[in-house]
């Protein structure tokens, strides 16, 4: 409690210092270091939430919109201290209390606030959420509150006491609440703030909508006193067939246990022992059908410790590179991909459920893709699990996008944490083949140091997948482009975004361009495209028309076919998406129109060009 108060005061001081524009970098850094050295309140992430005992807190939450953060600061802009917006009721009828959750409006959770209320469409600020719950207390159980994602910063209070905070809008987090709640009338308050921050990840400038709110599910997880927190069970990446490798982590005082892993379809049972730290090293042989887009074989895996049992559905496959080839299960593969933002098609707003994922991935399948790039931040777990079942390979990335405070150690720590959270959540999914570190980041020495750190972190958390980043090309002369970004040395696969024919020249410019690289590595052209308003027609030179976009795709594909080290493409983008940077009236109206499909689900002409190209590739097994 004392530590909490100290942390809280420090956080208050930092926030007020920031807000008041005090930029004493050194003091700021020292305070951050002090905070970072206090044991984090956030417990390590629990994985495979769907297959655990849980109570959903989804539904309507009471909200208070607080643009001036008056739940936080008084009229002198001093922190109010504990508990202003924490559900106090007036003790007497003469008490002055200027808020009341009980009579306040509601918002749906999961859900962004921008698409739920038109007056919150452009809102960037604070909203307080409240949800009451009862909980049947069970002896010898532990309870955690788990958030799929909250954009951007969250402070969480249970029954008036702060239980934790989290920064980063697209990754899950959880806090233990055992012993902190009662059987009846608990209230969980979450302060959500989606203001963009210079030191944030992402930072101030993006080309997507800054949807705020509790955007993914909230659950109360009930686990035994010692439980299986996390595990990694994957095929060994060396060329030996059938070798499974990994580890498992128990959380709780009974650290030494026998742990059994069963693979249902094969009847295989493998027994291990955990050590004093509750860690198990997993290593066994099993004859398994390998996961691939043609046959997305998944196995029901049952993990039984003495005190806990968890089941999961896991696919096994190898992904590696050899020269400029990408090998899936030892065979060269071409990644027929498309980029996707996490936006709900048809309904609008942030996508968060399986039905949203199903619509998106049906279009992806129809397009003859075997690959998706989930831009520009970790998407929800439903789409990853569905990709696993449908046999669609996935590129996942963190929002290290455009400019970032490369020199800020706190920003680096934040990026690392987001990377850790997404890798922890998804590293048992066969569909995920690539972790991407960054998108279109301008070259500099501090940027290289920052991104190298991230590649090291990704490799240490998951040695079984490939590392990439969406880079930019260098112009050698009018007709030659080279990929020689020094970061390439630390990547397995090069990504490159180019907008020849849209931001640069006209579509036919692509016919003259030759591509080179200084690396003997595969390339994915991770973005190209043009805006088109569905239903707007003109000739091939009419900007914003479907014909312009169609022509650009034709010229692009001809250019791409000539790149000898190209092993995949993810054009920009499957559907139109909201962007505050796109104000052109009648055409954009705050939409980026580079979608092959409109926001109402209508397919533009270019969709069919790509569909045909991918069909041809599929037919010729390239
Ligand atoms: C890019 C970005 C992407 C933008 C896109 C565009 O290079 O990576 O986030 O939305 O260009 O449409 O300009």
Cα–Cα dist 191/155, whole Å: 5
Closest CA to 131 of 116, 110, 117: 110
- H or E segment to which residue 483 belongs: strand 480-483
Cα–Cα dist 58/219, whole Å: 7
Q: Which residues contact 556 (CB under 8 A, 6 or more apart)?
A: 500, 501, 507, 510, 528, 571
pLDDT digits (tens, 9 = 90+) for 538-591: 999 999 999 999 999 999 999 999 999 999 999 999 999 999 999 999 999 999
Is the CB of 592 inside a 6 Å radius of any atom of ligand 1? Answer: yes
SS3 percent helix, strand, coil of the chain, rounded to 5, is: 25, 30, 45
Cα–Cα dist 319/312, whole Å: 21
- In contact, 72 and 84? CB cutoff 8 Å: yes
Cα–Cα dist 115/345, whole Å: 13
Task: Give me the half-sphere count of Cα atoms (radius 13 Å) on the Cβ side of residue 462.
Answer: 30
pLDDT at 18 over 50: no
Return the residue whose CA atom lies nearest to atom 13 of ligand 1.
207
Per DSSP bridges, beta strands 173-176 and 141-147 are antiparallel
pLDDT at position 248: 97
- 51 CA distance to ligand 1 centroid (A)? 36
Is the CB of 421 inside a 6 Å radius of any atom of ligand 1? Answer: no
- 2 CA distance to ligand 1 centroid (A)? 47
pLDDT digits (tens, 9 = 90+) for 232-257: 999 987 766 789 999 999 999 999 99
User: Could you tell me the pLDDT band of residue 27, with boundaries at 50, 70 and 90?
Assistant: very low
Mean pLDDT, residues 322-351 taken together? 97
- 438 CA distance to ligand 1 centroid (A)? 13
pLDDT digits (tens, 9 = 90+) for 207-235: 999 999 999 999 999 999 999 999 999 99
The residue that leads in pLDDT, 347 or 27, is 347
pLDDT at position 43: 54
pLDDT at 175 over 50: yes
Where in 1-75 does DSSP place strands (E)? 54-56, 59-65
Atom of ligand 1 nearest to the CA of 470: 8
pLDDT at 42 over 50: no
Residue 433 C-alpha from the chain's centroid: 15
Is the CB of 207 inside a 6 Å radius of any atom of ligand 1? Answer: yes
Mean pLDDT, residues 29-47 taken together? 49
Is the CB of 439 inside a 6 Å radius of any atom of ligand 1? Answer: yes
pLDDT digits (tens, 9 = 90+) for 415-435: 999 999 999 999 999 999 999
Residue 332 C-alpha from the chain's centroid: 28
Pocket probe mutation, ligand 1, options 206, 377, 527, max atoms within 8 Å of Cβ: 527
Helix (H, G, I), strand (E, B) or coil at 410: helix
pLDDT digits (tens, 9 = 90+) for 65-86: 999 999 889 899 998 876 678 8
Q: With b meaning 16 or more CB within 10 Å and e meaning fewer, what string describes 547-583?
A: bbbbbbbbbbbebbeebebbbbbbbbbbbbbbbeebe
Burial of 2 (0-12, 13-18, 19+ CB in 10 A): exposed
Q: What are phi and psi of 266, to 5 degrees?
A: -100, -15
Is the CB of 262 inside a 6 Å radius of any atom of ligand 1? Answer: no
pLDDT at 20 over 50: no
List 131's β-bridge partners, or say none.
188
Is the CB of 594 inside a 6 Å radius of any atom of ligand 1? Answer: yes
Atom of ligand 1 nearest to the CA of 439: 8
pLDDT at position 89: 77
pLDDT at 24 over 60: no
- 206 CA distance to ligand 1 centroid (A)? 9
Closest CA to 284 of 255, 311, 263: 263
User: Could you tell me the pLDDT band of residue 12, with boundaries at 50, 70 and 90?
Assistant: very low
Q: Which residues contact 586 (CB under 8 A, 6 or more apart)?
A: none
The average confidence (pLDDT) of the chain is 92
Atom of ligand 1 nearest to the CA of 503: 13
- 207 CA distance to ligand 1 centroid (A)? 6
Question: Is this structure's pTM higher than 0.85?
Answer: yes
Give me the percent of the chain exceeding a pLDDT of 70: 92
End-to-end CA distance of the chain: 61
List 141's β-bridge partners, or say none.
224
Is the CB of 377 inside a 6 Å radius of any atom of ligand 1? Answer: no
Closest CA to 381 of 424, 420, 346: 424
Residue 79 tokens, joined: 């922190």
pLDDT at position 38: 32
Q: Which residues contact 266 (CB under 8 A, 6 or more apart)?
A: 286, 287, 288, 299
Per DSSP bridges, beta strands 514-517 and 480-483 are parallel
- 145 CA distance to ligand 1 centroid (A)? 35
The residue that leads in pLDDT, 30 or 66, is 66
pLDDT at position 26: 37
Pocket probe mutation, ligand 1, options 395, 440, 572, max atoms within 8 Å of Cβ: 572
Most distant pair of Cα atoms in the chain: their distance? 80
pLDDT at position 39: 32
- In contact, 159 and 145? CB cutoff 8 Å: no
Atom of ligand 1 nearest to the CA of 502: 13
pLDDT at position 242: 86
pLDDT at 113 over 60: yes
Is the CB of 342 inside a 6 Å radius of any atom of ligand 1? Answer: no
Give the dihedral sign, CA 326/330/331/333: negative
Is the CB of 526 inside a 6 Å radius of any atom of ligand 1? Answer: no
pLDDT at 28 over 70: no
pLDDT at position 68: 94
Helix (H, G, I), strand (E, B) or coil at 458: helix
Return the residue whose CA atom lies nearest to atom 4 of ligand 1.
207
> DSSP readout, 214-281?
E-S-EEEEEEESSEEEEEEEEE-SSS-TTEEEEEEEEESS----EEEEEEGGGTEEEEEE--TTSEEE
- In contact, 521 and 515? CB cutoff 8 Å: no
Nearest 5°: the CA angle 528, 532, 537 is 135
Mean pLDDT, residues 337-349 taken together? 96
Return the residue whose CA atom lies nearest to atom 10 of ligand 1.
207
- 584 CA distance to ligand 1 centroid (A)? 16
Pocket probe mutation, ligand 1, options 404, 592, 596, max atoms within 8 Å of Cβ: 592
Helix (H, G, I), strand (E, B) or coil at 55: strand
- H or E segment to which residue 366 belongs: helix 354-366
How far, in Å, are 303, 365, 376, 388, 451 from residue 439 at the CA level?
37, 25, 8, 24, 11
Question: CB 17: neighbour CB atoms within 10 A?
Answer: 15
Is the CB of 376 inside a 6 Å radius of any atom of ligand 1? Answer: yes
Q: In what order do the strands lie in the sheet with 309-314?
A: 268-273, 258-263, 299-304, 309-314
Give me the percent of the chain exceeding a pLDDT of 90: 86
pLDDT at position 442: 97
């Amino acid at each position: 409690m004392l530590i909490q108060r100290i942390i809280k005061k420090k956080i208050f001081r930092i926030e007020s210092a920031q807000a008041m524009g005090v930029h004493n970098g050194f003091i700021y850094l020292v305070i951050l270091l002090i905070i970072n050295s206090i044991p984090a309140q956030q417990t390590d992430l629990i994985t495979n939430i769907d297959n655990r005992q849980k109570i959903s807190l989804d539904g309507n939450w009471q909200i208070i919109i607080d643009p001036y953060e008056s739940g936080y600061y008084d009229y002198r802009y001093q922190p109010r201290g504990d508990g202003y917006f924490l559900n106090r009721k007036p003790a007497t009828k003469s008490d002055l209390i200027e808020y009341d959750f009980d009579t306040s409006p509601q918002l749906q959770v999961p859900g962004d606030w921008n698409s739920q209320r038109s007056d919150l469409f452009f809102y960037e600020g604070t909203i307080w959420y409240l949800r009451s719950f009862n909980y049947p207390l069970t002896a010898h159980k532990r309870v955690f509150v788990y958030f799929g994602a909250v954009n951007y910063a969250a402070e969480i209070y249970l029954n008036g006491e702060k239980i934790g905070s989290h920064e980063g809008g697209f990754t899950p987090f959880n806090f233990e609440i055992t012993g902190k709640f009662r059987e009846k009338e608990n209230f969980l308050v979450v302060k959500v703030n989606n203001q963009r921050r210079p030191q944030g990840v992402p930072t101030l400038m993006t080309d997507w909508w800054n949807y705020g709110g509790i955007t993914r599910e909230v659950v109360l997880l009930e686990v035994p006193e010692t439980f299986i927190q996390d595990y990694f069970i994957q095929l060994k990446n060396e060329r030996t067939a059938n070798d499974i490798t990994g580890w498992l982590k128990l959380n709780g005082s009974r650290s030494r246990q026998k742990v059994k892993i069963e693979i249902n379809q094969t009847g295989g049972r493998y027994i291990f022992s955990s050590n004093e730290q509750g860690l198990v090293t997993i290593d066994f042989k099993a004859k398994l059908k390998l996961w691939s887009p043609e046959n997305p074989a998944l196995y029901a895996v049952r993990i039984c410790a003495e005190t806990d049992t968890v089941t999961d559905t896991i696919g096994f496959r190898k992904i590696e590179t050899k020269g400029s080839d990408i090998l899936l299960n030892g065979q060269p593969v071409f990644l027929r991909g498309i980029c996707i933002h996490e936006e709900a098609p048809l309904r609008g707003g942030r996508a968060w459920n399986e039905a949203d994922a199903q619509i998106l991935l049906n279009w992806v399948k129809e397009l003859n893709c075997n690959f998706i790039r989930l831009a520009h931040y970790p998407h929800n777990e439903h789409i990853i699990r569905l990709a696993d079942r449908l046999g669609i390979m996935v590129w996942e990335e963190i929002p290290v996008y455009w400019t970032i405070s490369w020199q800020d150690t706190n920003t680096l720590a934040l990026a690392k944490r987001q990377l850790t959270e997404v890798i922890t959540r998804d590293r048992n999914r066969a569909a995920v083949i690539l972790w991407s570190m960054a998108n279109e980041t301008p070259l500099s020495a501090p940027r290289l140091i920052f991104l190298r750190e991230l590649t090291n972190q990704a490799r240490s958390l998951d040695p079984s997948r490939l590392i990439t980043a969406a880079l930019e090309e260098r112009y050698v002369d009018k007709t030659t482009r080279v990929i020689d970004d020094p970061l390439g040395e630390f990547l397995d696969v090069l990504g490159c975004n180019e907008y020849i024919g849209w931001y640069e020249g006209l579509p036919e410019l692509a016919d003259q361009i030759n591509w080179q690289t200084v690396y003997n590595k595969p390339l994915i052209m991770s973005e190209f495209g043009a805006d088109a308003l569905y239903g707007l027609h003109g000739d091939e030179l009419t900007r914003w028309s479907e014909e312009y976009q169609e022509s650009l795709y034709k010229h692009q594909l001809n250019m791409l076919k000539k790149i000898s080290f190209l092993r995949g493409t993810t054009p920009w983008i499957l559907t139109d998406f909201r962007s505050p940077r796109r104000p052109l009236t009648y055409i954009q109206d705050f939409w980026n129109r580079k979608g092959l499909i409109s926001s109402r689900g209508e397919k533009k002409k270019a969709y069919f060009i790509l569909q045909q190209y991918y069909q041809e590739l599929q037919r010729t097994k390239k």
